[in-house]
Amino acid sequence: MSGRVGDLSPQQAETLEKFWENVKDLLKQKRDDYYLLRWLRARQFNIKKAEDMIRAHYRWREENQIDTILEDYKELEVIKKYYTGGHVGYDKKGSPVWIDPFGLIDMKGILRSCKKKEVIRSKVWIVESFYKSFKDELEKTGRRREEIVVIFDLEKLGPKHLWKPGVDVFNEILKMFEDHYPETLKYAFIVNAPRLFPIVFKIVRPFLSEDTVKKTHVLGSNFKEVLLKYINADQLPLHWGGTKVGQNGDPRCTDIINHGGVVPKELYHISDLESANYTTVTISRGSSLQLDFEITQPMTVLRWEFKTEDHDMGFGIFKRTADSRQKAIEMEVIKSTERVNSHLVPEDGTITCKEVGTYVVRFDNTFSILRSKKVSYLIEILEADDTFVREGQDSTASTPSQESEPSEGE
């Protein structure tokens, strides 16, 4: 049984009754089984876990004034202009379709221009707006909607999207959706996924429920025809396989879908996004620090960020050519050493380790004969997740079957 209204086993029906008795003190409106079952399904009909979840949600709503966000929220200009995504139409069952060309986002620019809580709050405002539209439609037509279809276009997704503060904020957004809006995602379609995607997915997967993972579908190069199985052509922009166009025939419908872009530096006003996981060391004058990392899987990404106090620092990456410790001149150069002004702006970046072996991150202070220098750094090794594997250039991977579509509760 699906655990939805009209498709409950006797045990699920009994659990629903008990759950209502336990949480009815929270609900100001009359009993809504559709709403209650969302929380139960999210916790596999475990009453204790579902009750803990919904009570935590109501505390969160009160602490963050969510009940009035639609009236009170003022979207910051940088988010309005540069955070990707937009509501384009509805699928064949009437669920809203949101397209996010996330590969075009400049998360570093956004987070240099506003606080992360503003970014997260903007996402809350969007989902609350959808819930308001669901409620209005139910009152007007009697038709119930509970779910949203999301299409992530990852064209141009690259190493810059692995910037840790940006990844951390994205993961916080995912966790917020999982904790407070369970069973809202109908499908997530991933299109134009680059080779980097398995690594990105491994980073975000810990923040996703297994149910969300099952609803996530990576499409191959024939994604347009697949999307049309679920979305009518007039509800899908021409660029993604439909017939809908924006102003002046725009195939991307940029009038309703924000396509991001580079945030102008004149909007920056946040200079330091420090990670709580930094390691801080002092490198003596005329000395260097070598950090060894064993790479066991080809195409693993090595990610770094660091900052120094008061003075610049030399930075380079090498690969050992012998089993024992080597000097820099004896190793294969992966990233040439250069002096960077990491005391002015934190330094960050990534490389893809195409071969297995020992990679050496080297902080170089040998050029300084007078000053020891303090450096705070975070180095991470990011391996791929093999959950989604495309089976060829023209294939689709992990696409939902029409027969398995959830009922709409009309």
Helical residues (DSSP H) of 205-243, grouped into ranges: 210-214, 223-227
Q: Which residue has the tokens 């049984």?
A: 1
| CA distances from residue 331 to 84, 291, 319, 391 in whole angstroms, order as listed | 42, 14, 6, 37
The mean per-residue pLDDT over the stretch 319-341 comes to 94
Looking at CATH, the fold of the domain delimited by 279-320+330-382 is given as Jelly Rolls (2.60.120)
Per residue in 346-379, pLDDT (tens digit) is: 899 999 999 999 999 999 999 998 999 999 999 9
pLDDT band at 408 (very low <50, low <70, confident <90, very high): very low
Structural domain boundaries in the chain:
10-51, 66-268, 279-320+330-382
pLDDT band at 287 (very low <50, low <70, confident <90, very high): very high
Query: How much is the pLDDT for 404?
Result: 38
Give the closest residue to 23 by CA, choosing from 1, 43, 2: 43
pLDDT band at 276 (very low <50, low <70, confident <90, very high): low
Query: How much is the pLDDT for 133?
Result: 97
For residue 79, how many other CB atoms are within 10 A of its CB? 18
Contact status, residue 287 vs residue 365, Cβ threshold 8 Å: yes
Strand partners, 318: 333, 360
Question: Containing H/E element for 173?
Answer: helix 164-180
Contact status, residue 36 vs residue 16, Cβ threshold 8 Å: yes
Phi, psi of 289, rounded to the nearest 5 degrees: -125, 125
Residue type, 282: T
Structure tokens at 309: 């106090």
**What span, in angstroms and rounded, lies between the C-alpha atoms of 299 and 217?**
23
For helices 116-141 and 164-180, angle between their N-to-C axes, nearest 10 degrees: 30
Looking at CATH, the fold of the domain delimited by 66-268 is given as Phosphatidylinositol Transfer Protein Sec14p (3.40.525)
Per residue in 209-240, pLDDT (tens digit) is: 999 999 999 999 999 999 999 999 999 999 99
**What span, in angstroms and rounded, lies between the C-alpha atoms of 188 and 212?**
8
Question: Residue 259: how many CA atoms within 13 Å on its side-chain side?
Answer: 9
Per residue in 109-119, pLDDT (tens digit) is: 999 999 999 99
Q: Which residue has the tokens 């503003």?
A: 118
pLDDT band at 64 (very low <50, low <70, confident <90, very high): very high
Question: Of 23-32, 108-117, 231-240, 395-404, which range is least confident?
Answer: 395-404
Mean pLDDT of the chain: 91
Strand partners, 97: 89, 149
Query: How much is the pLDDT for 29?
Result: 67
Sign of CA dihedral 400, 403, 407, 408: positive
Per residue in 157-202, pLDDT (tens digit) is: 999 999 999 999 999 999 999 999 999 999 999 999 999 999 999 9
Is pLDDT of 6 > 70?
yes
Query: How much is the pLDDT for 344?
Result: 85
Per residue in 71-101, pLDDT (tens digit) is: 999 999 999 999 999 999 999 999 999 999 9
Is pLDDT of 387 > 90?
no
Give the closest residue to 373 by CA, choosing from 383, 381, 363: 363
Question: Containing H/E element for 35?
Answer: helix 33-42
Contact status, residue 307 vs residue 343, Cβ threshold 8 Å: yes
Structure tokens at 188: 């997530």
**What span, in angstroms and rounded, lies between the C-alpha atoms of 5 and 167?**
37
**What span, in angstroms and rounded, lies between the C-alpha atoms of 211 and 40?**
13
